[in-house]
Amino acid sequence: MTDEAANVFADPTAYADEPRLHAAMAHLRAHNPVAYVDKAPYRPFYAITKHADIMDIERDHNLWLSEPRPVLVTAVADDFAKSQLDSGAGLRTLIHMDDPHHKKVRTIGQDWFRPKALRDLQIQVDALAKRYVDKMAEIGPECDFVEDIAVHFPLYVIMSLLGLPEEDFPRMHQLTQEMFGADDKEYQRGTTVEERMATLLDFFDYFSKLTASRRANPTGDLASAIANGRIDGEPLSDVDTASYYVIVASAGHDTTKDAISGGLRALIENPGELDRLRHEPDLIGTAVEEMIRWTTPVKEFMRTAAADTTVRGVPIAAGESVYLAYTSGNRDEEIFDDPFTFDVGRFPNKHLAFGYGVHFCLGAALARMEMRSLFSELIPRLGSIEFAGEPELAATVFVGGLKHLPIRYSLR
């Protein structure tokens, strides 16, 4: 069934207009939860807006494949990426893969994100959180919280984990913005497929040098683990190695930046919830979870049917794709009480912001730890806080959130 409302998913500007996006999604959840979308420049897909359906699809990973269409990109970009892959130069990250290969590749980096490894990292992350809150105090009483703070903290954490030198962090940040923000004028390198591809080639160029250096001299960091990773006794291919770095380096910070800045915005817009958190610091765990649900930085992933099937009675043929609307699932009134209320004590909170199933976010525990650390440092030191200008969202269909959050504040 076609439905005008579902066209929002294929319109990058809708992602920068939350009331419009949420109104369309609420309509779809109620009236057309498996909506057919056929809107250029994208290939057709079905938009899945109910929480339960998104989970069912992600659970059945043998029926619903990530390949060949893991995220929504234009048909031209899709074809170009495929031709690059066929020629041995494309991007094939964990999110592009299916089992059994996916499982083997995921294992290579997995230990770095387990609770034990993260416990060892806690002191370092806490020190960094303090460094960035100190910086806020120094540059106050006004700043652009996104540009001055939220971007840098998670970038610093993931780059340090990888083992990259600090002078390269700005370059990684710029390339990530170009990749995830490819639809947004402020972030994109250009509008042609070749310009988008150039970003990827820059990533690959940087990381192939890194691979060579870590293979020659392993240094015990995550980059060395990836460079020296083996599958069935064989070294990872060049494409798989470079792609691994790209996914960790990019997914590891832009998403967290969006959750941090959107989380602070929600606290400013809901001063009662900020007060609650001030008086009950033990709520930090549920508060962070609510910030992640509220912002849902990853807007979508896609899956393609391996065989003819149905979703909620709607027939979907083998080879057709579904768009998993995480933002919609996370406001599903059948799952969440008062889904449009920001509640720092919300429990349970079965949000889908980290996905579900075999592709469940590899860095979820790290992201949570970073956010707990930053807000636990910030909130007790915060006096007043208000907007000093309009918050501005990025117009991107994949990973997105605030581009600018001008604030005025006092900090101890």
Contact indicator for 354, 364 with CB cutoff of 8 Å: yes
Instruction: List the one residue from 90, 181, 252, 339 that touches ligand HEM (CB under 6 A).
Output: 252
Residue 382: strand, helix, or coil: strand
Among 248, 316, 395, 402, binds ligand HEM (CB under 6 A): 248
Q: Which of 32, 84, 177, 255 binds ligand HEM (CB under 6 A)?
A: 255
Which residue reads 């609510």 in tokens?
Answer: 290
Among 354, 375, 398, 409, contact with ligand HEM (rule: CB under 6 A): 354
- H/E segment holding residue 279: helix 271-279
Please list the helix, strand and coil fractions of the chain in percent, rounded to the nearest 5, in that order: 55, 15, 30
- Binder to ligand HEM among 297, 329, 339, 401 (CB under 6 A)? 297
Our finding on whether 301 is near ligand HEM (CB under 6 A) is yes
H helix or E strand, kind and range, residue 51: helix 51-59
**Which stretches of 24-141 are assigned E, i.e. beta strand?**
34-37, 45-48, 64-65
Of 78-107, binders to ligand HEM (CB under 6 A) are 94-95, 106
Residue whose CB is less far from ligand HEM, 128 or 251: 251
Q: Using an 8 Å Cβ cutoff, are 258 and 399 in contact?
A: yes
| CB within 8 Å of 245: residues ≥ 6 apart | 162, 203, 207, 210, 211, 223, 226
- Least separation in angstroms between residue 265's CB and ligand HEM is 15
387 sits in which H/E element: strand 382-387
- Size of the residue set binding ligand HEM (CB under 6 A): 28
Q: Is 292 in the site for ligand HEM (CB under 6 A)?
A: yes
- Out of 357, 387, 389, 410, which residue is the one contacting ligand HEM (CB under 6 A)? 357
Angle at 395 between CA 98 and CA 141, to 5 degrees: 115
| Per-residue mark of binding to ligand HEM, 168-207 (x: CB under 6 A) | ----------------------------------------
242 binds ligand HEM (CB under 6 A): no
* CB-nearer residue toward ligand HEM: 198 or 231: 231
Q: Does 164 bind ligand HEM (CB under 6 A)?
A: no
398 lies in the binding site for ligand HEM (CB under 6 A): no
Task: Rank residues 32 and 47 by Cβ distance to ligand HEM and give the closer one.
Answer: 47
The number of CA neighbours under 13 Å toward the Cβ of 387 is 15
CA distance 149 to 133: 8
Q: Which residues bind ligand HEM (CB under 6 A)?
A: 58, 94-95, 106, 158, 247-248, 251-252, 255-256, 259, 292, 297-298, 301, 353-357, 359-363, 366-367
